[in-house]
Chains A and B, each alone.
Chain A
Amino acid sequence: MLDEEGEISASNPAFCRLLGLVESSTLELNFRDLLSMGGRLFYEAQFIPTLLLRGSLSEIAFDLKHADGSHIPVLINARVDHTGPAHHQILLAVFAVEQRRLYEKELLRARKEFEQIAEVVRRSSDAILRLTAGGVIQSWNAGAQQIFGMSPEAAIGKPLSSLLLTAHTESLSSAMEKLKEGQETFIEAKGRSALGNPIDLSVSMTPHMEAPGVLVAFSAIIRDVTTRKQTERALLQNEKLASVGRLASSIAHEINNPLEAVTNLLYLLQLRVADEETNSLVTKAQRELDRVAHIAAHTLRFHKQSSNRTQVDLHSVAGSVLALYQVRFENSSIKVINDSVNASPFVCFEGELRQILFNLVSNAFDSMRAGGRLVLRCRDVALYPGRRGMRITVADTGSGMDRDTLRQVFEPFFSTKGIGGTGLGMWITKDLVQKNEGTIRIRSCDRPGRSGTIVTMLFPNQPQKGQPT
């Protein structure tokens, strides 16, 4: 029994035994002195005002100090009594609840841990689903929502198979058979994204079994692997191209020496030939051999990465890029105009410029299989007052691009060339142009009779020491 100030005015022997106190000594105590500082805060701020207002409170948890310094967890039922002579008094019934409190603590701890795990699942970017043994979706996390664009309300209750394209029904049902035997399974399948596009999915499923070996539920972790698959394909293609490049370059290197020998031999041969007809055959052989030497030299240069800006003659760079396609241009009756003879010497990364031009010329060629005209033009321009630069234009009269194609032309993995294209050419081109501080713009028309594409690039001149730009 406490008076209105919380002093203990009476207590039974059991209470004293609980606290390890001599019976009479409780009478000099204030109840709050039996509490820890934290408990006291709770007692003063919440317990007392609530008790005074409500008149009674039950099953409130406190820790009381034992005489030996330990803490005794108790539950307290309290009632305010107005019948006595004093203002009011408070009656407390105190129960020791050590075991129960331990159990509650354990429950609370387990619940917190569970909530943390649940939070991990909820926020995972992978779809993590709980399913019935029959494959009906029971839970739907944020990752699932992101991948499939479906709300939990729409997804829960649907079968797992509805997430995959019908072509996979069979592999899914054989996976479910394995689950029934308690095996974890993994399948790769295609599904539809939030926007309705086909996506590559990896689905791994884990069974939840109960005795006697009955499948009661399973979980599925679904990951969107579309980008990874695309990257893998592109990497593979790139690696193929790169190894072809290395091969070409080493062949070029290897044939350089015999080429030189043959060139010298032909020269010697020509000196010894008196007869006019033979002489002209040798001259022809020399000319063709020059072409081979040129191609070999270009292949080598193309493969070599330039690490410094150098001053290049655009006319000859453009010429050597076009030369690689010369035979194909002739076979497809494509007229080529290299209009860059008036361009000033230009400072840039030569290898990269070569690659840019090569990509653009190669695209132009692909669009003019039935003949046409290709113009490669380099001109000095003023970018804005006080800054001069170079404009490089590659224009063709090919099939052109429609609006959708044009919109996506710089996106990686976007290709109109089917199996032959990586979809990386224009993406890399744009990257290289930007690396050289340039801009690239494409205009295209696919109307029959007026079709064609014009790619315009603007590069600023690099400021040079002592020279105005």
Chain B
Amino acid sequence: MDALRRNNVKVVGSGEQLIMFAHGYGCDQNMWRPVLPSFTDKYTAILFDYVGSGLSDSSAFDQTRYSTLRGYAWDVLEILAALKVERPINFVGHSVSSMIGALASIKEPGKFETLTMIGPSPHYINQGDYFGGFERSDIDSLLDSLESNHVAWSAAMAPVIMGNSDRPELAQELEASFCRMDPFLAHHFARVTFLSDNRDDLSRVDTRTLILQCQSDAIAGLRVGHYVHKLLKNSELVIMDAKGHCPHMSEPAAVVREMRRFLQ
């Protein structure tokens, strides 16, 4: 399997240093559009879609491989191997990708210079003393929401099926295809994202890490951000005065500023 085709890998920019952007659940590599231009001068940026998201090859889906976040983390490592990168990269992961990056860096620490985690959570479900923010029944109701929206998301798949997405002059249609997910695989990715428990993995990460935490994030709350910071040995926590779960889309300038400072 060609990892570059499987994960729809795009390489942009010409800088000497490497930066890899990994999207979270619910979207695809297009979610990095607001911040990407700020990095392409100094960095060579690697973008990709997880299997089941964006323009990835859904036929590569393997229920067993992707039943834990590790399968997705091995994909990240396979992409780096396929690109034959020779120097450690700066990995930027949104939401679930923060944990995927952490798992990849545990497996091959030499490949990672830094990790940037935007809204990370190692476990979404409250358990004993741990506050993840959700109950199991909440996750089930999310899965229900996905099912109710099966049709809408299937309809959004249509432009790919017609093959128009390769014609950028049809800007509207291109835009309409952003954050496309295979409806069946979206359901699977949601399960893996919101039901996984990777709390034990945090203390095994050695890579220098920046945690970008929004003041008010309905998905990964402040307490979760502090928890991640406490367990990551080599981490810096920045609480941003932004709302929502996607500050790189809603407040791109602030995110770029913090990242530049950290990466210096």
Contact = CB atoms under 8 A, between A and B. Distances in A.
Contacts of B59: none
Interface residues of A, number: 33
A53 B30 contact: yes
- Scoring A6, A32, A47, A61 by chain B CB atoms within 10 A of each residue's CB, the highest score goes to A61
B142 to A, nearest CB: 4
B141 A61 contact: no
Contacts of A4: 250
B9 interface: no
A53 B145 CA distance: 21
Interface in B93-152: 95, 134-135, 137-152
B239 interface: no
A345 interface: no
A54 interface: yes
B138 A6 contact: no
B145 A42 contact: yes
Contacts of A370: none
Interface stretch (B20-28, B71-79, B254-262): B20-28
B245 A44 contact: yes
Interface stretch (B42-50, B172-180, B200-208, B228-236): B172-180
Contact of B142 (A41, A55, A73): A41
Contacts of A37: 134-135, 138, 141-142
A4 B252 CA distance: 13
Contact of A60 (B138, B139, B144, B149): B149
A102 to B, nearest CB: 12
Given A37-B141, A61-B149, A104-B148, A50 B178 contact: yes
Interface residues of B, number: 43
B243 A6 contact: yes
B26 A38 contact: no
A53 B31 contact: yes
B219 interface: yes
B83 interface: no
B150 to A, nearest CB: 8
B244 A5 contact: yes
B223 interface: no
B32 to A, nearest CB: 10
**Which of A36, A41, A47, A60 lies at the interface centre, i.e. has the most chain B CB atoms within 10 A of its CB?**
A41
A182 interface: no
A59 B30 CA distance: 22
Contact of A55 (B155, B175, B218, B243): B175
B45 to A, nearest CB: 18
B148 to A, nearest CB: 4
- Closest 7 CB pairs between A and B? A38-B141, A46-B26, A37-B138, A61-B148, A38-B142, A50-B179, A53-B178
6 contacts: A36-B141, A37-B138, A39-B142, A39-B145, A44-B245, A61-B152
Interface of A: 4-6, 32, 36-42, 44-50, 52-55, 57-63, 73, 101, 104, 108
